[in-house]
Every structure is written in structure tokens, then in C-alpha cells.
Amino acid sequence: MPTPTYPEAPETLSRRTFLNWMAVGWTGFAAAMAAGLTATGRLFFPNVTFEPPQQFKAGFPSEYAVNKVDERFKKRYGVWMVRNEKGIYVLSTVCTHLGCTPNWLEAENKFKCPCHGSGFYSSGMNFEGPAPRPLERFKIGLAADGQINIDKTAKFQFEKGQWNDPASFLEIA
Amino acid sequence: MAKGDFVSSIRESQAWKSIFRHGPPTTPRNKTLVVLMNVFLHLHPIRMKKSGIRMSFTWCMGGITFFLFLVETITGVLLMFYYRPTADYAYADIIALREHVPIGIMREVHRWGAHAMVISVWLHMFRVFLTGSYKPPREFNWGIGVILLVLTLLLSFTGYLLPWDQLAIWAITVGSNMARATPFLGNEGPGASLINMLMGFDVVHAGSDARFALLAGRLVGEATLLRFYVLHCVFIPLAASVLMAIHFWRVRKDGGISGPL
């Protein structure tokens, strides 16, 4: 029986070389697709948001009356400025239960959340309702021009012992 | 002209034959072809067990869910002719849809249909569980079904914001707080602090996390309204449609509608 003859593979491109090039090609393609998808995912993070800035100036310390909860920045920046005998701290207006905005009830001397009834003292401590922890405080300091500087990107939580941090409180001598 | 002649003259016409390439469904072969040759029917089995379509067995909940999806699609497209997803117009357009537009109940039909769909999809899942229809070889289709359940809930969630009233804004504010706790991708989630520590600076923060991507900001605002509108009207329905096609096709491929194999 005669042995069948097979045509020789062309010498310019062996099977191994072809497969190697295939591997290079597919790896490159996959990498390009991954890079493209990652870049497309970036589309969901706009460079500019039309929201109030996270850092802002809140006037001079002398503008705040002692033992008062000041609501002037509540609507725009979502903070209460609270002045006690020693100084000023900034409370977040986000309820620690589910994120609604409580109201400051001057007559009852407390914050009361309309959603589920959580209550907080002017210090931010929770004392009634479902809120599991006190309101958060934001970073406060003095700018070079003597105005109060507030930075909402830095927050201080009582339950983590962060209210002792000097940046969470502006002492007024 | 006799009636039979008229019917057969239509059936013999080129127009009819160009649409239906098989004869009338009088023979077993032609009955099969009716299903096989129709793009809408071909996802379904050609024939099924009599017990498989008993109402007491399936509750028809999958079919009702699909029907409600069609109702939502049609009423939703009708609402899109009037609704504008911007802070200035959204709420006024919702009111106009009730007060100024003929058939002012269209939005209520859409809303009630959505509630009904959430209920029917849960009951469908419950029935599939009770009849053990998640077991091999149907476990892949159970997985598809779970994704479809999540998409149904996300459709309801994204639609909730569109009336742009206080209820809507606060519901989404509260609901989207969950995204803060996404593992690694949410700024309060497990693993976020680890990533930030490893990178040496805050990679995952309130301005870069999963919630930010969902809301297009740190707060529920106009950008959120537009984002939810696109998700609600385009992205999620498209994804659900593709998965439903797979879901129905797999019912057939995995041994037909629920029942012993």
C-alpha cells in the first residue's frame, strides 16, 4: 500500500509560529478591549458636578452666638454650625439612621428626624428613635483671613473617638 | 365567488406565501412548522406535557410576569411622549399626564403594573422553588431568573425617582445609601479602607465610589434624574429582554415547562 503524501507546510510560517502570533494577537486584543472598557467606565464619573463645593468659608467666629444652633448653611451645604461656651463645631444634617434630614427644634432643644423620629441633642448625640449613632461632625479650622474654613471631605465620628480630634472643633479663647 | 375560493386565493397568493412558508396547521408536520417558523413562537416548545400547563401547577406566574413586562413597555413608551427628565419639568409633566393628557390613567396603569410585576415575579420564583424546578438540569436558568428578579427590582427602584417629588427624592436618597457599603467600591464598604491604605491616598471616597457613579454626584440631583431615566427606559429593559429570551429558550432546552423529566 503506498504511503499517502501530504503537502509540506510552507516554510515561511510554521504551525508554532502561527499559534504564537495568534496568542500575541488575542492577548493584545483582549488588553485593548479591557483598556477601552475601563476608559468607558470612567464616563460615569463626571469631572464636574453641579453641587455646592465640599470646602467653603463660613464667616467669622464672632458671627455665631453662644449656645445656638445656626442653620444658615443647612440648605446649601448640609451642615449645622453649633457654638457652645468653648467654641464651634460643624454637624452633618444627615440622619445616621437612613439618611434623611432632621429638623432643629429650638423650643425642645433637639434635632428631630421627620422620617422615623430619631432625636439628637445639639451636641449631635442620639438619644431617641432608631438612629444607631450620633450625627457626624466635619473638619473646621480658621483661614488666613480669620474666617472659618469647613472641609466636608473629612468627617469625625463620636463612636470612633474622633470628636477628640482638634480638627473637629474650633476652640475660641 | 365561493367562500372557500376566496380563502384559498389568499392562501395561494404570493404575499401570504412570502410570510407563511408552510401549509395550514392541519397535519402534525405543519403544526410543528407553525411554531418553528415563527420568530415569536420559536422560543417556545413545539408541544408540551398536558400536566405542565395546569394552572394549579405553574400558577401561570412566569407568563403573567412576561405579560406585565409587555404592559410596562407599552405604557412606558406612551408616557415617554410627554415626560421630560429634568428638574424643571419632571414633576409638572407627571401632573400633566394625569390632568391634561387623554387617558390620564396611563401612569397609574404603569405604576400598578410595576407593583403587580414585582409580586408576580416573586410568586413565580416561589412556585419554581416549591416544585423543585431549580434542580439540574435547570440550575442555570434559575441563575438567569435571579438576575431577572434583580433587574425587576432595579426597574422599580429607578422608576421611583422619576416623579421627582419629595417621596421620590428621599426614597432614592435613603435607598442609594446602601451603595456606600458596597465591598471595595463603596466608601463605607468593607475593603475600601484597605484599598486606600495600600494606595497611600484616598482612591475610594464619597466622590469616586459606587454611589457616586449611580447618582452622578454626592447627592440626588438633576444628574441623578437623567441617569435613572436612561437606566429605567433603556439599559435595564434591554438587559432584561436579552435575559428573558435566554430564559424562555432554556425552559425549552432544559426539558420543557416545569415538571418531571
- B206 has a chain A CB within 8 A of its CB: yes
Where do the domains of chain B lie? 60-253
Instruction: List CB contacts of B96: < 8 A, sequence separation 6 or more.
Output: B82
Distance between CA atoms of B107 and B80, rounded to whole angstroms? 10
For A139, the grid coordinates are: 473638619
Q: What integer is the mean pLDDT of B115-140?
A: 94
Lowest-pLDDT choice from B64-73, B129-138, B140-149: B129-138
- A49 has a chain B CB within 8 A of its CB: yes
Q: Which H or E run contains A34? A: helix A15-41
Read off the amino acid at residue B106. M
Q: Model-level pTM greater than 0.95?
A: no
For B205, the grid coordinates are: 471616597
Please provide the DSSP assignment of chain B as one string: --HHHHHHHHHTSHHHHHH--S--TTSHHHHHHHHHT-TTTTTS-SS--GGGG-HHHHTTHHHHHHHHHHHHHHHHHHHHTT---STTTHHHHHHHHHHTSSSTTHHHHHHHHHHHHHHHHHHHHHHHHHTTTTSTTSHHHHHHHHHHHHHHHHHHHHHHHTT-SHHHHHHHHHHHGGGGGSTTTSTTSTTHHHHHHHHSS-SSSTTTSHHHHHHTSSS--HHHHHHHHHIIIIIHHHHHHHHHHHHHHHHHHTTSSSS--
For A144, the grid coordinates are: 488666613
Contact B86, B114 (CB under 8 A): no
Q: Which residue on chain B is closest to A43 by alpha carbon?
A: B213
A45 vs B173, B212, B221: nearest CB: B212
Residues within 8 A of A (CB atoms), B 158-177 only? 170, 173-174, 177
Which residues in chain B have Cβ-Cβ distances shorter than 8 Å to A51?
Answer: 217-219, 221
pLDDT in tens, B69-82: 999 999 999 999 99
Which residues in chain B have Cβ-Cβ distances shorter than 8 Å to A44?
Answer: 213, 216
Q: Which residue on chain A is closest to B173 by alpha carbon?
A: A99
Rounded to the nearest integer, the mean pLDDT of chain B is 91
- B217 has a chain A CB within 8 A of its CB: yes
B213 vs A44, A99, A100: nearest CB: A44
Distance between CA atoms of A5 and A74, rounded to whole angstroms? 88
Indicate the pLDDT class of residue B233, thresholds 50, 70 and 90.
very high
Cβ contact (<8 Å) for B170 and A44? Answer: no
Cβ contact (<8 Å) for A153 and B206? Answer: yes
Indicate the pLDDT class of residue A103, thresholds 50, 70 and 90.
very high
Instruction: Say what the pLDDT of residue A11 is.
Output: 66
Give B206 to chain A, closest Cα distance, Å: 8
Fold classification of B60-253 (topology level): Cytochrome Bc1 Complex; Chain C (1.20.810)
Which residues in chain B have Cβ-Cβ distances shorter than 8 Å to A54?
Answer: 207, 218
Distance between CA atoms of A68 and A167, rounded to whole angstroms? 20
Quick check: B32 pLDDT over 60?
Answer: yes
| Exposed / middle / buried, residue A135 (Cβ in 10 Å: 0-12, 13-18, 19+) | buried
* Category of A143 on φ-ψ map: left (φ > 0), alpha (ψ -120 to 50) or beta: beta
pLDDT in tens, B191-213: 998 999 999 988 898 889 999 99
B170 vs A46, A100, A153: nearest CB: A100
pLDDT in tens, B40-95: 888 877 777 777 778 888 889 999 999 999 999 999 999 999 999 999 999 999 99
Rounded to the nearest integer, the mean pLDDT of chain A is 92
